Amino acid sequence: MANTNENLNVTEQLENDIADVQFLAEQLLPFRHDIQAEANHQFSLPEPRIHAQLQMLMGIIQELHPADMAAVLENLPPKERELVWLLATPEDDGDVLLEVSDTVRESLIEHMDTQELVAAVENLDVDELAELADTLPENVVAEVMKDLNEEERAQVQAAMSYQDEQVGAVMDFEIVSVRADVSCEVVLRYLRRFDSLPNHTDKIFVVDENDILQGVLPIRKLLVAAPEELVENVMAKEVVQFSPLDDVADAAAAFERYDLVTAPVVDENRKLIARLTVDEMVDVIREETEADMLNMAGLQEDEDLFAPVWDSVKNRWVWLAINLFTAFVASRVIGFFEDSISQIVALAALMPIVAGIGGNSGNQTITMIVRALANSQISKSQAIRLLKKELGVALVNGIIWGSAMGLVAWLLYGSLGIGLVMVAAMTLNLLLAAVLGVMIPVTMERFGKDPALGSSVMITAVTDSGGFLIFLGLATVFLL
């Protein structure tokens, strides 16, 4: 089943692996209790076909990178996921738990006993253990902490003391530092003493005798520098650095802006305490993007694709209730103009067009503004300028597309009045969408809320009700 075609790109290969694992897991699901009962993964299933499928499934799983294994697990229903997790390579369990989404991680941990969890996380780095600690049972964390030295325990506790949105929660304690008054040759000899350098090491941090950050020594400069040259003459003194209290989203934006691979984390006295790495920042950017998508749709949190019905209902009900209320308001707006609609039936056919284009335009504006806010591109004065710009865009679009739709309405219903009302209504609703598309996320940001939270739901609701009111109101005033 596994596709070993070397011409496949990474995404295609992963899609094939997911499909193969899902198929084999479904076939083996009736035998999961027999599989679970066997010790040390020594299987003796009676049917040769089933045994062959099991070996094939294990072969695929064992070849998967932990990140790919996480993707496979996220794409499996709960029972198949439990079976595949049972067959996973124990040495990789901790790395897989780090990669999967929070909701799937919880489901996996539920099916692991204390010994399995301890074995999975005991070899993780300090920062990785701190990342998982909040989701692990307290007795597991305590058991693992016993095997750490005093410095490592302090590092775990320090990382756990910060909130999820702070740099301190994702900082890496594996750092390599040197003094400024040594030669490059001494630094190279020092580095050769390591079995391997920490991942993503692109620079060496330069500190004084009190670990106060002095600068950074890029590896590329170290390799070409004269051996006798002092570090202080080669190092870069202008350094992008972070405090553990900084917002992690701002740090991720800085990594993207300055093309960073690593960056130092210092305390209030500029003492070097840790570093940030690009892999963590990529995760932050991905999570922020996913959170914005969920929030714009009115979802409260990340949801397991195969979550129980009731869990999904609880995650979605708030904004559905709000949407129901706004839909009721829109229906009352239409009800207020029942006499107008009964006299000019064409209004009933045309009013969804006015509401629909307003909602689409509003979503375009709100997406642009949310993105700008996420990148810290908007100040108070800029918000006013953006509002004026979006009003201009809405006016031009309203005149162009309103005229086009007005012409169509005139040709369809033989009424110039309906065509003109269509032009005016579409233009006014697009202007309304532009105002709200800027003001909703900016106002949410000003009150300390996520600007993406329910924004799509709100803009659609207002442009629906507003579109109906504008179109039917204009028709009532000028056509009746």
pLDDT band at 400 (very low <50, low <70, confident <90, very high): very high
Interval 426-442: pLDDT, tens: 999 999 999 988 888 88
Residue 208, pLDDT score = 95
CA angle 70, 72, 77 (to 5 degrees): 110
Element holding 435 (H helix, E strand) = helix 416-446
Task: Give the contacts of 251 (CB within 8 A, at least 6 positions apart).
Answer: 167, 242, 263, 276, 281, 284
CA angle 26, 28, 32 (to 5 degrees): 115
Residue 304, pLDDT score = 67
CA angle 243, 244, 248 (to 5 degrees): 95
- Cα gap 288→283, rounded to integer Å: 8
Specify the range with the lowest mean pLDDT, choosing from 235-249, 358-372, 387-401. Answer: 358-372
- Cα gap 204→183, rounded to integer Å: 13
Find the mean pLDDT for residues 132-139.
Answer: 88
Specify the range with the lowest mean pLDDT, choosing from 41-50, 317-326, 436-445. Answer: 41-50
Residue 302, pLDDT score = 63
Residue 278, pLDDT score = 95
Under 8 Å between Cβ of 200 and 259: no
Specify the range with the lowest mean pLDDT, choosing from 64-73, 112-121, 340-349, 373-382. Answer: 373-382
Find the mean pLDDT for residues 106-129.
Answer: 89
Percentage of residues in the chain with pLDDT exceeding 90? Answer: 40
Asked whether residue 4 carries a pLDDT value surpassing 60, the answer given is no
Specify the range with the lowest mean pLDDT, choosing from 52-61, 353-362, 454-463. Answer: 454-463
Task: Choose the most confident range, by mean pLDDT, from 124-138, 231-245, 319-333, 337-351.
Answer: 231-245
Domains of the chain, each with CATH number or no CATH: 177-296 (3.10.580.10), 309-479 (1.10.357.20)
pLDDT band at 39 (very low <50, low <70, confident <90, very high): very low
pLDDT band at 296 (very low <50, low <70, confident <90, very high): low
E-assigned strands of 231-381?
Answer: 262-266, 272-277
- Cα gap 454→471, rounded to integer Å: 26
Which is nearest to 87 in space by CA: 27, 25, 45, 140?
25
SS3 235: coil
Q: Token pair for residue 404?
A: 């086009």
- Cα gap 330→86, rounded to integer Å: 52
- Cα gap 249→164, rounded to integer Å: 11
Residue 42, pLDDT score = 53
Asked whether residue 175 carries a pLDDT value surpassing 60, the answer given is yes
Residue 337, pLDDT score = 87
Find the mean pLDDT for residues 361-389.
Answer: 77
212 strand-pairing partners:
271
Task: Choose the most confident range, by mean pLDDT, from 27-41, 332-346, 368-382.
Answer: 332-346
- Cα gap 134→342, rounded to integer Å: 61
The more confident residue out of 191 and 54 is 191
- State whether the Cα torsion 6-10-11-13 is positive or negative: positive
Find the mean pLDDT for residues 318-328.
Answer: 78
Q: Where are the alpha helices (DSSP H) in 337-379?
A: 338-343, 346-374
- State whether the Cα torsion 413-414-416-417 is positive or negative: negative
Interval 199-214: pLDDT, tens: 999 999 999 999 999 9
Long-range contacts (CB closer than 8 Å, 24 or more residues apart) made by 304-308: 304/74, 304/101, 304/103, 304/104, 304/107, 305/74, 305/75, 306/76, 306/77, 306/78, 306/81, 307/103
What is Dmax (Cα atoms) for the chain? 94
Asked whether residue 41 carries a pLDDT value surpassing 60, the answer given is no
Asked whether residue 11 carries a pLDDT value surpassing 60, the answer given is yes
pLDDT band at 218 (very low <50, low <70, confident <90, very high): very high
- Cα gap 146→300, rounded to integer Å: 37
DSSP 247: B
Percentage of residues in the chain with pLDDT exceeding 70? Answer: 89
Phi and psi torsions of 108, nearest 5°: -70, -45
- Cα gap 425→422, rounded to integer Å: 5
The more confident residue out of 129 and 1 is 129
- Indicate the pTM of the whole model: 0.71
DSSP 176: -
Residue 2, pLDDT score = 45
Task: Give the contacts of 184 (CB within 8 A, at least 6 positions apart).
Answer: 222, 225, 226, 227, 228, 229, 230, 231, 234
Residue 338, pLDDT score = 85
Residue 47, pLDDT score = 67
- Cα gap 235→204, rounded to integer Å: 9
CA trace torsion 95, 99, 101, 107 (10° rounding)? -20
The residue assigned the tokens 């083996």 is 28
Q: Token pair for residue 95?
A: 């790395």
